[in-house]
Amino acid sequence: MHPVIPYVIAAVLFGIGVYGVLVRRNAVLVLMAVELMLNAVNLVLVTADVTLRQYTGQTFALFVIVLAAAEIGVGLALVLQLYRLRRSIVTDDVAVDYDVAVDNPVDNSVDNAADREAAR
């Protein structure tokens, strides 16, 4: 086999992932594009194993998959919290120095989003 083929596939997928991260407004879609980039890196690691004839790359690919699972868990928790505060997950609307508590007070006594809507 020619190792350049999977390497180029990985490069193409990484480019597509970068494009997706930059172009998408929806936070969940941004996370999907990040997954594409992580997978491209895994493909490079696995292909490197074939050319170097050892198993370190596959071990690292497993580690990266575990890291991706942890990342997606925390990332989605943050996205859902953003949705609870703003009713939207458009990343353009998130100002870094924006004080949520002042402009958009959230009633902490009712923690379920549906209950909060009913309470209004």
Partner 1 sequence: MTVTDILLLALGAVAAGSALRVVTTTHIVRAGLWLVVALGAMAACYLVLTAELVAWVQVLIYVGAVVVLLLFATMLTRAPIGPSPELDRARFPAALIGLGSGGGLAALFIFGYRWGKAELAAPGTAGVLGKEIFSGWVLPFEVLSILLLAALVGAIVVSRGERS
Site for partner 1 in 80-109 (CB under 8 A): 80-81, 83-84, 89, 92, 108-109
CA dist., res. 90 & res. 86, Å (int): 9
- The minimum distance between CB 25 and partner 1, in angstroms, equals 6
- The minimum distance between CB 102 and partner 1, in angstroms, equals 15
Strand-pair partners of 90? 26
Binding positions for partner 1, 3-62, rule CB under 8 A: 3-20, 22-26, 28-29, 31-33, 35-36, 39, 42-43, 46-47, 49-51, 53-56, 58-59, 61-62
**Are the C-beta atoms of residues 10 and 40 closer than 8 Å to each other?**
yes
